[in-house]
Structure 1
């Protein structure tokens, strides 16, 4: 018998989507946690190059874009890629729809929930303390 049987894909508990109710909308959003692989791909897309010292190009991380992309990737409902929804806000693209559809505070609530359900809301100290208990 394998010592790591609990880690085999068929034995892993599936994550559950969560609802987030925002005051301005009659229906809640449905969010899903992101895998490390999805976050890595988003992370890689969020680097840009800009001129640095001596004209050398520097690789710079765009944290605003990263936060926006993890939110967009996490939203299951409503479908931000839906053409009718995008047209109703006069934009093309899920990221542009997100920026137009949600107020700043709402975007922050979404980001907080996405980081929470994806396991990014706890510091290492909190994790150690929880493990002790």
Structure 2
């Protein structure tokens, strides 16, 4: 076999190994927003299972944490309680444990699943879980990769 033949065969094999790129439509039709992930909780020495939240669900939770209060000049302004939002995100996205479990809520004397997260977890744990849930929901640092030419 000559050197040119070997080079040609190598390029031919290399070209066959490249997977065909899906169209955006094919990708959306072939995927699900039901994404789950375990997260290790060091203090509790166990895994929590979290799920991704859709934009619709996050907007719904934001509305629950948005209040109107007087601002400058007496004009009413909207204010989002970010601590409460973090608690609701964790309560909504935690599959295991289920913060709406009556036994768990009774144990912590919680009025709601969001209240249960606040009473059962440390502030930093809520922040960490909320951050991981948002990452899983597509809010990671740089979810969009630049398209490379060539």
TM-score (norm 1): 0.80
Which residue pairs with 1:45 in the alignment? Answer: 64
Aligned ranges for residues 91-110 of structure 1 at < 5 Å?
91-110=110-129
Q: CA deviation at 1:7?
A: 3.1
Q: Deviations over 1:38-63 (max 9, x none)?
A: 01111222211111223222122222
1:131 is matched with 146
Match in the other structure for 2:138: 119
Q: Distance in 2 between matches of 1:72 and 1:34?
A: 11
Distance 2:95 2:143 in 1: 28
Q: Deviations 1:65-100 (Å, cap 9, x if unpaired)?
A: 222221211111111111111111222211111001
Which protein shows a greater Rg?
2
Equivalent residue in structure 2 for 1:4, among 25, 36, 54: 25
Secondary structure of the residue aligned to 1:118 is helix
RMSD: 2.3
Correspondence for 1:61 among 57, 60, 80: 80
Q: How many residues align?
A: 126
> Are the structure 2 counterparts of residues 121 and 87 from structure 1 closer, same or farther at C-alpha, using a change threshold of 3 Å?
same
Deviations 1:75-127 (A, max 9, x none): 111111111111112222111110011112211221121111111122xxx34
Query: What corresponds to 1:82 in structure 2?
Result: 101
TM-score, normalized by length of structure 2? 0.72
Question: What are the ranges of 5 or more consecutive residues in structure 2 without an aligned counterpart?
Answer: 1-23
